[in-house]
């Protein structure tokens, strides 16, 4: 039997807030002896995830301003091509997609581009599942002709990582598994909290099966257009200044109470009053977590950066209401 010398590629997908970056950080900090090149894709004009990925020796490439499955797919092919010119510097590649990506066109890249196909093999599509919120995303009624990305991400998975199992009880978890099995009965299921899993269950598993995917989608190898829900947008905010924590908490509390159902994901890195450390917050619908992070580095840009992704967001209102949280000096 001949050994496949091509570079293994893991596509890490999952709906907004499922824990992809948390799993990526876990992979990058575990002692596995692998050199990993990471390609990140964010939906929005302001990049946050690159600053949330822990310091590591791995090479990280970031693509903003679009979904990896459509507008920036040419960028993906270009980056993969550039990586192959530095083949001696890494052992594998992880592509982390935006939470709004349909994984099919991403996977398609490894079969329709001759250079990519010759040098790389798609090892597995790993889909992170937010145990607390996945059912509402699977059940969301989309406008006619618009894909439900959460369903697509489950359907194309080779591995389903059900994350945040600590947020649901046994009955809720069983219901989640039953629904996932109804969409994709072939994928292996792994449970996790905070993205901690046995990495041998998701890396170098040789799980991608083109024949199975062609059964799910006979047009998989055909270039097709797909339509995103245009009600879902990204609002990025960048403002200098120092944040008053009490005002911030009141603002976020009110925001979650009034718009939580429509905010799929929010995250930010803030400069708060009387603290030399970055304040990092993340939220999914009504769930919110914020805490001090590492100290600011000398010369580091301390501009407040926030990103909101959700339905029918009001950019002006979000910007003005956050600005009211800044300390007036």
Considering the domain architecture, whether residues 212 and 238 belong to the same structural domain is answered as no
Over 60: is that where the pLDDT of 48 sits?
Answer: no
Mean pLDDT, rounded, for 292-306: 87
Select from 192, 216, 240 the last residue of a domain: 216
Over 80: is that where the pLDDT of 4 sits?
Answer: no
Over 70: is that where the pLDDT of 152 sits?
Answer: yes
Q: What is the SS3 assignment for 12? A: strand
Considering the domain architecture, whether residues 190 and 272 belong to the same structural domain is answered as no
Considering the domain architecture, whether residues 70 and 207 belong to the same structural domain is answered as yes
Strand partners, 94: 10, 38
Considering the domain architecture, whether residues 38 and 156 belong to the same structural domain is answered as yes
Provide the whole-model pTM: 0.66
Considering the domain architecture, whether residues 147 and 39 belong to the same structural domain is answered as yes
Select from 216, 241, 264 the last residue of a domain: 216
Considering the domain architecture, whether residues 105 and 247 belong to the same structural domain is answered as no
Structural domain tally of the chain? 2
pLDDT in the model for residue 65 = 38
Considering the domain architecture, whether residues 283 and 142 belong to the same structural domain is answered as no
Q: What are 35's two structure tokens?
A: 């050199």
pLDDT in the model for residue 69 = 40
pLDDT in the model for residue 60 = 46
Is 281 contained in some domain?
yes
Is 117 contained in some domain?
yes
- Answer for the pair 116, 107: CB distance below 8 angstroms, yes or no: no
pLDDT in the model for residue 294 = 85
Q: Which domain holds residue 35?
A: 7-216
Q: Percentage of residues in the chain with pLDDT exceeding 90?
A: 20
Supply the CATH number for residue 192's domain: 3.40.50.300
Model pLDDT for residues 5-37, shown as the tens digit of each residue: 889 999 999 988 888 888 988 888 887 778 888
Over 50: is that where the pLDDT of 326 sits?
Answer: yes
Over 80: is that where the pLDDT of 157 sits?
Answer: yes
Mean pLDDT, rounded, for 135-152: 82
Is 99 contained in some domain?
yes
pLDDT in the model for residue 285 = 65
Is 329 contained in some domain?
no
Select from 183, 216, 249 the last residue of a domain: 216
Is 126 contained in some domain?
yes
Is 222 contained in some domain?
no
CA 5 to each of CA 58, 91, 143, 273: distance values in angstroms, whole numbers, following the listed order? 21, 11, 44, 53
Considering the domain architecture, whether residues 118 and 52 belong to the same structural domain is answered as yes
- Answer for the pair 38, 10: CB distance below 8 angstroms, yes or no: no
Considering the domain architecture, whether residues 54 and 201 belong to the same structural domain is answered as yes
Considering the domain architecture, whether residues 210 and 312 belong to the same structural domain is answered as no
Q: What are 278's two structure tokens?
A: 């970055």
Q: Sheet holding 92-96: strands in order across?
A: 59-63, 36-41, 92-96, 7-14, 120-130, 159-163, 188-191
Is 290 contained in some domain?
yes
Query: Residue 216's CB: how many other CB atoms inside 10 A?
Result: 14
* 60-64, 87-91, 230-234, 325-329: the lowest-pLDDT one: 60-64
Considering the domain architecture, whether residues 70 and 142 belong to the same structural domain is answered as yes
Q: How are beta strands 304-311 and 232-239 bridged, if at all?
A: antiparallel
pLDDT in the model for residue 131 = 94
Supply the CATH number for residue 316's domain: 3.30.1220.10
Considering the domain architecture, whether residues 174 and 267 belong to the same structural domain is answered as no
Is 1 contained in some domain?
no
Model pLDDT for residues 217-253, shown as the tens digit of each residue: 676 666 555 555 556 667 888 899 999 988 988 898 8
């Amino acid at each position: 039997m001949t050994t496949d010398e091509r570079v293994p590629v893991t596509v890490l997908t999952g709906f907004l807030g499922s824990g992809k970056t948390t799993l990526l950080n876990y992979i990058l900090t575990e002692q596995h002896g692998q050199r990993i090149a990471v390609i990140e894709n964010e939906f929005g004009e302001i990049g946050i995830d690159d600053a949330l990925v822990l310091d590591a020796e791995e090479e990280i490439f970031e693509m903003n301003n679009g979904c990896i499955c459509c507008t920036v797919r040419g960028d993906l092919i270009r980056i993969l091509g550039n990586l192959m010119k530095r083949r001696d510097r890494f052992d594998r590649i992880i592509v982390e997609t935006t939470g709004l990506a349909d994984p099919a066109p991403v996977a398609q890249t490894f079969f329709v581009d001759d250079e990519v196909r010759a040098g790389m093999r798609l090892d597995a599509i790993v889909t992170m599942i937010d145990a607390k919120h996945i059912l509402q995303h699977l059940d969301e009624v989309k406008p006619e002709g618009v894909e439900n990305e959460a369903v697509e991400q489950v359907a194309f998975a080779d591995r389903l990582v059900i994350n945040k199992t600590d947020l649901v009880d046994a009955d809720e978890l069983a219901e989640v598994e039953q629904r996932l099995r109804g969409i994709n009965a072939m994928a292996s299921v792994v449970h996790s909290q905070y993205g901690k899993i046995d990495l041998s269950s998701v890396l170098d598993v040789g799980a991608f099966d083109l024949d199975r995917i062609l059964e799910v989608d006979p047009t998989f190898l055909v270039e097709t257009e797909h339509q995103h829900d245009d009600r879902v947008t990204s609002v990025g905010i960048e403002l200098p200044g120092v944040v008053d924590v009490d005002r911030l908490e009141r603002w976020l509390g009110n925001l979650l109470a009034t718009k939580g159902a429509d905010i799929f994901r929010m995250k930010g890195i803030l400069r708060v009053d009387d603290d030399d450390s970055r304040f990092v917050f993340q939220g999914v619908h009504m769930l919110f977590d914020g805490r001090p992070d590492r100290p600011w580095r000398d010369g580091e840009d301390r501009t407040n950066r926030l990103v909101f992704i959700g339905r029918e967001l009001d950019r002006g209102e979000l910007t003005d209401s956050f600005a009211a949280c800044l300390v007036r000096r």
